Amino acid sequence: MQTPTFASVQTGFEFEPVIQSYAQGAIDRYALGSLDMNPVHTNTDWAARAQVFGLPETVGHGMMTMSTMTSVVTRAWGVIGRDGARLRRVESKFTKPVKVGELVTARGKVKSKHHHGPGRNWVLVVVEAQDTSGDLVGVSEIHYQLPD
Amino acid sequence: MPIPERLHQYVSTDKQQHFPKDFLSDWQHYETWDQATVGQSGPAQRVFEITAEDIIAYNVACGETDPLMIDPERAAKLSPTGEVLQHPIFVTAIAFYSLGESGIGTWIRTPGARNPHQDIEVFEPFRYGERITTTVTTHDKFMQRGKPYLQMKLDFHNESNVLKARWYCSLILPASQDDVARFANA
């Protein structure tokens, strides 16, 4: 893992994609890890009856999709670094439920560089997540502070 | 309605063991969109004491394999904090644990809720042993394209009153208790 400097990063830089399974076991593990035990994610019988999203099956957590999108940046640059690098903010919108069994692919790109002064400069990374059929399931804007 | 038996194989922390996991059992006590008042504020029910196992459980659930995020011994030697590093969205676990089952902000547990967007700011890493208090403020309540949206601001402070993270948490909710009942009793 190598965190770049603010000066060396170019807009348009593309991160390695993150691919995450949304099989029921992965959703179950996320439910316990996050303590979001809403039955729409874990209870297949209830989900079939309630059809919260008009679907007779469970769906992945939006927060799991947010996490997958965030991991695009943190797996490349780290959650925090010894040199002041750190993720500051994540804003995510969810555009389509992720059905159980999907494979989500998240891709990110540096959109802009924000010159706030030494020790405070940061870049905006836009991450998009798609399901197995290529439909957009989420978009995130991630603020990441980089060393000078 | 008990949670599915298969979920027990994934329980790996003390909090997961004791957390009220059946969101369908106490739904009558959850705050609803109808009941929420913008500007109302208060502390969440529970204090969340940060442990390595909580952080690791979240990181593993996100598919992380970096030793600095899942291996306390490697993290002690190599991570910038000397502790396992948490995924930035780890505040989700703090929020669900802390908000509890009745009172302000418990609409986060609502059966039938949908997740439109979220906004999380991280100011400092959480550290082992910190006791995190969550302050809940109902921030916005609106109808958009016929759907009831509710947003709360969650501020996460440690015992020294240092603000560690902030989450603007939004959901589209069944508006009334009758609407929630239709999902809860499905």
pLDDT in tens, A18-75: 999 999 999 999 999 999 999 999 999 999 999 999 999 999 999 999 999 999 999 9
CB spacing of B6 vs A28 below 8 angstroms: yes
Instruction: Give the closest-approach CA distance of A82 to chain B in angstroms.
Output: 5
pLDDT tens, position by position, A100-135? 999 999 999 999 999 999 999 999 999 999 999 999
**Minimum CA–CA partner of B11 in chain A:** A32
Q: Which residue of B has its CA nearest to A21?
A: B63
Q: Please state the ipTM of this predicted complex.
A: 0.96
Residue pair B52/B72 in contact by the 8 Å Cβ criterion: yes
- In this structure, is residue B10 part of a structural domain? no
In a domain, B21, yes or no: no
User: pLDDT (tens digit, 9 = 90+) per residue, B129-176?
Assistant: 999 999 999 999 999 999 999 999 999 999 999 999 999 999 999 999
Length of chain A, in residues: 148
- Confirm whether B54 is domain-assigned: yes
Instruction: State which amino acid sits at residue B32.
Output: T
SS3 content of chain A, % helix, strand, coil (to 5): 25, 30, 40
Angle, helices A62-77 vs A24-34, to 10°: value is 80
In a domain, B124, yes or no: yes
Interface test with B, best of A30, A34, A40, A52 (most B CBs within 10 A): A34
DSSP state of A8: T
Chain A residue numbers with beta carbons less than 8 Å from the beta carbon of B109 are 38
> What token pair was written down for A130?
């798609």
Domains of chain A: residue spans and CATH: 18-145 (3.10.129.10)
- Please tell me the total count of domains within chain B: 1
Residue B123 parent element (H or E): none
A38, A42, A46 ranked by CB distance to B109: nearest: A38
Closest CA to B172 of A50, A35, A94: A94
Q: What is the DSSP string of B47-92?
A: -EE--HHHHHHHHHHTT---HHHH-HHHHHHHSTTSSPPPPGGGHH
Q: Which two tokens stand for residue A101?
A: 């069994």
User: Residue A83's closest chain B neighbor by CA?
Assistant: B80
Kindly state whether residue B38 falls inside one of the protein's structural domains.
Answer: yes
A interface mutation test: which of B66, B90, B115, B179 has the most A CBs within 10 A?
B115
Structure pTM? 0.97
Instruction: Report phi then psi at B168, rounded to 5.
Output: -90, 105
CATH code of B94's domain: 3.10.129.10
Residue B160: inside a domain: yes
Alpha-carbon distance A70 to nearest alpha carbon in chain B (angstroms): 8
Q: Is residue B106 part of a domain?
A: yes
Q: Cβ(A40)–Cβ(A26) under 8 Å?
A: no
**B74 is in which domain, residue-wise?**
29-184
Q: For B21, which residue in chain A has the nearest alpha carbon?
A: A37
Q: Could you give the CA distance from residue B161 to residue B166 in angstroms, rounded to a whole number?
A: 13
| Contact assignment for B24 to A39 by CB distance below 8 Å | yes
| Residue B4 counted as domain residue | no
Q: DSSP label at A119?
A: T
